[in-house]
């Protein structure tokens, strides 16, 4: 049965997800069968497993680093915000319901059982589990019924490393304050501190280390440098390499128009490594300007986000780019936005009943309560995209709610076959000249050949492309190398070994 180590943070965005991924890679390199685990995750960035279950993208990254297939047991509770006060609740990969924050707080007893059922199942299959907390354990207003931080750690009895982000300032006060705000039994589980995102000479921290260790009785187990040269996909935000300014040497500009509740923004990470290509995310009130490729991504509230794009003028600018010769692509909710209307009569996602689309595709969408989640393979239908071969194969996954109906002015783009099924069915739509198309297939641009063909079409010539999978694996290896140099791995292994043997 598995050994367990948990990383908790002094707050959100201190780097827990990346550190868990790096530790998983180190253990994998050392021959340990290791899996990541996050009891509860709130994110719009999700993935579909081979079994068809939905989970947070951060745990997918961690599973890739660990060299194992992602499984919903690694993220048993996923909360996907639909409004500022509500979220879709996904338990062990399947949609349970939409809830407001107070409703979910009362629901935690049910969620708790899901968390520990998944954890026990995972612990029976691996030698070690590296657990990621959520936010901070010092959010004492949320402590009752907690399943994300110390509530989980106490139940399991697992050791905890507390991570602080020095880049924001105040890290030592955050570490001490967090420790003092949690209960004595929870304090006993904290075995050491890790400083993350440091710039400068780490020896300058020694006086603070001595003072804080003397005060708390906990050692510092490493200082991880701030880095920008290692590619790791973001958990729930736009990758910092996506920029607003275009350099003079770039030949293709790819612009992603960001709605308020963008989902699955990692769909576009493959463009980041392409030479001569600029990937930019444009959000209201920014202006789109001229781009070669304009992409509308997924949304967790398509109707409301469509209204926002019209109000900001970005919807008009997308249409103008299409008239000027850009290729316009819609993925999932973005595909729905490219049509004539999106309607949500049952209030599946939105507060508004309907929204006028951009009218670039002759399709209409009605939201339906049933959610489609599947890994799928696809083949391009003949004559749809002049720059990609007919019948060209693609792989990806579907996460969508809604039924889209095509009118006479659009033709299906692809045929999809979901994992475990024999039947092919039409998906997406394309305009007559192939310069505008949409699909429900996420991961479209992970397909190196498809991405290269689109970029070569706008370059006007063939160019080398970058293997996205190879780039990810290189990033995990480089992250592991950095952590081996930065952390006291001997001490961390001792903490892991002394933890509960489940």
300 neighbors 81 (Cβ within 8 angstroms): yes
Give the residues across from 326 on adjacent strands: none
Residues forming the active site = 332, 442
Question: Exposed (0-12), middle (13-18) or buried (19+): which is 230, by Cβ within 10 Å?
Answer: middle
Six-digit token string for 193: 């501190």
**d(C-alpha 40, C-alpha 42), whole Å:** 7
Q: Is 230 left (phi over 0), alpha (psi -120 to 50) or beta?
A: beta
**d(C-alpha 148, C-alpha 115), whole Å:** 9
**d(C-alpha 392, C-alpha 450), whole Å:** 8
428 neighbors 398 (Cβ within 8 angstroms): no
Nearest to 128 by CA among 25, 40, 17, 9: 25
Strand 252-257 and strand 46-48: the pairing is unpaired
Helices (H) and strands (E) in the chain, counts: 13, 27
Six-digit token string for 361: 């595709």
**d(C-alpha 89, C-alpha 105), whole Å:** 12
**d(C-alpha 98, C-alpha 315), whole Å:** 28
77 neighbors 113 (Cβ within 8 angstroms): no
Tell me how far CA of residue 88 lies from CA of 43, 73, 298, 374, 430, in angstroms: 10, 18, 15, 18, 31
349 neighbors 365 (Cβ within 8 angstroms): no
């Amino acid at each position: 049965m598995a050994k367990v180590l948990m990383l908790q943070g002094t707050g959100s965005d201190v780097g827990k997800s990346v550190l868990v991924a790096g530790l998983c890679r180190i253990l994998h390199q050392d021959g340990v069968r290791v899996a990541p685990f996050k009891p509860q995750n709130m994110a719009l960035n999700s993935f579909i497993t081979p079994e068809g279950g939905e989970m947070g993208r951060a745990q997918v990254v961690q599973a890739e680093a660990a060299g194992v297939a992602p499984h919903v047991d690694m993220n048993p509770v996923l909360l996907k915000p639909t409004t500022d006060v509500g979220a879709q609740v996904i338990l062990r990969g399947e949609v349970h319901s939409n809830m407001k924050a107070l409703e979910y707080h009362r629901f935690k007893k049910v969620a708790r059982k899901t968390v520990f059922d998944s954890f026990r199942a995972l612990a029976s299959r691996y030698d070690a589990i590296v657990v990621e907390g959520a936010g901070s354990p010092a959010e004492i207003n949320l402590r009752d019924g907690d399943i994300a931080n110390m509530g989980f750690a106490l139940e399991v009895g697992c050791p905890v490393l507390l991570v602080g982000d020095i880049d924001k300032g105040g890290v030592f006060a955050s570490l001490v304050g967090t420790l003092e705000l949690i209960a004595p039994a929870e304090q006993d589980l904290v075995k050491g501190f890790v400083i993350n995102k440091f710039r400068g000479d780490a020896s300058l921290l020694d006086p603070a280390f001595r003072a804080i260790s003397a005060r708390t009785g906990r050692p510092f187990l490493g200082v991880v440098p701030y880095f920008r040269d290692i590619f790791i996909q973001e958990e729930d935000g736009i990758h910092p390499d996506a920029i607003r300014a275009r350099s003079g040497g770039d030949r293709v500009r790819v612009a992603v128009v960001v709605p308020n509740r963008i989902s699955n923004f990692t769909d576009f990470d493959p463009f980041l490594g392409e030479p001569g290509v600029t990937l930019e995310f444009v959000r209201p009130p920014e202006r789109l300007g001229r781009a070669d490729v304009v992409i509308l991504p997924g949304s967790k509230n398509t109707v409301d986000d469509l209204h926002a794009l019209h109000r900001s003028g970005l919807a008009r600018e997308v249409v103008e780019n299409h008239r000027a010769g850009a290729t316009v692509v819609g993925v999932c909710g973005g595909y729905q936005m490219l049509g004539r209307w999106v309607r949500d009569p049952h209030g599946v996602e939105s507060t508004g009943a309907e929204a006028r689309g951009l009218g670039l595709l002759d399709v209409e969408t009605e939201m339906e309560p049933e959610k489609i989640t599947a890994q799928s393979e696809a083949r391009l239908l003949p004559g749809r995209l002049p720059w990609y071969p007919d019948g060209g194969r693609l792989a990806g996954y579907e996460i969508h709610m809604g039924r889209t109906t095509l009118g006479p002015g659009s033709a299906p783009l692809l045929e999809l076959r979901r994992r475990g099924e024999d039947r092919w069915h039409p998906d997406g739509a394309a305009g007559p000249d192939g310069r505008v198309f949409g699909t429900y297939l996420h991961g479209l641009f992970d397909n190196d050949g498809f991405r290269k063909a689109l970029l070569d079409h706008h370059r006007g010539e063939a160019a080398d492309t970058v293997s996205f999978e190879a780039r990810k694996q290189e990033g995990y290896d480089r992250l592991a190398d950095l952590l081996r140099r930065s952390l006291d791995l001997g001490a961390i292994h001792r903490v892991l070994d002394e933890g509960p043997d489940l």
